[in-house]
Amino acid sequence: MSGPDEILHRGRFLSYHRTARGWEYVTRTNAKGCVAILAETDDQRILLVEQHRPPVGRSVIELPAGLAGDIPLQEEEPLVVAAKRELKEETGYEAKHWTTLLEGTSSAGMTDELVTIFYATGLTKMTEGGGVHGEDIRIHYVHRTDVVKWCRDREAEGKRVDFKIFAALYLARSVSQGGEARLWY
């Protein structure tokens, strides 16, 4: 058994590590996990968000998402509490019903980060949304049967689309139909 991984660099939010066998990866230093939310309105519209993401140098279409435990004195924030907070901050909605769909790796070869995807229904608009601290988040309402085409159209415009949207749709379908998952499109 080898010793602890070598820390090559510590930034404000990430640390860069190397294993004894030379594998390099990053880990978050300011959060205990990530959450993403598939939020669906009563009229079957999926709430998607768009914001500029510096690592890819363009706008990205995503599920509302964020970090859990990244607020000082709330480091042990439960994942569902973080999901509720992020949904309201980014979209202005609160949800009555919450279902955990899946916890999985975001990029297992690069980070130890885990993302928990929630399905939120019974939505009520409470605020304008748009994010906090200058996030400049744009909200899109897309009927669930139109999501794939709509996302492909955004890609044709030069935007990136996060694949977790499609995974969440697939998983939510299996939950809402109580059987084998089949895509809506």
What is the arithmetic mean of pLDDT over 119-141?
92
Q: Where in the chain does DSSP place strands (E)?
A: 6-10, 14-18, 24-28, 33-40, 45-53, 58-62, 65-68, 93-105, 114-125, 138-143, 160-161
Rounded Cα gap, residues 41 and 144, in angstroms: 10
Residue 9 is encoded by which pair of tokens? 């660099």
Give the pLDDT of residue 178.
60
At residue 126, the 3 state secondary structure works out as coil
Confidence label for 108 from pLDDT (cuts 50, 70 and 90): very high
Rounded Cα gap, residues 185 and 178, in angstroms: 18
Domains contained in the chain, CATH given: 1-30 (no CATH), 31-177 (3.90.79.10)
* Bridge partner list, 85: none
Rounded Cα gap, residues 93 and 127, in angstroms: 7
Whether 183 has a pLDDT exceeding 70, the answer reads no
Whether 184 has a pLDDT exceeding 80, the answer reads no
Confidence label for 179 from pLDDT (cuts 50, 70 and 90): low
Rounded Cα gap, residues 9 and 17, in angstroms: 7
Whether 115 has a pLDDT exceeding 70, the answer reads yes
Percent over 70 (pLDDT), the chain: 93
Condensed to tens digits (0 to 9), the pLDDT of residues 50-89 reads 999 999 999 999 999 999 988 888 888 999 999 999 999 9
Most confident of 3-12, 107-116, 127-136: 107-116
Whether 20 has a pLDDT exceeding 60, the answer reads yes
Rounded Cα gap, residues 36 and 88, in angstroms: 12
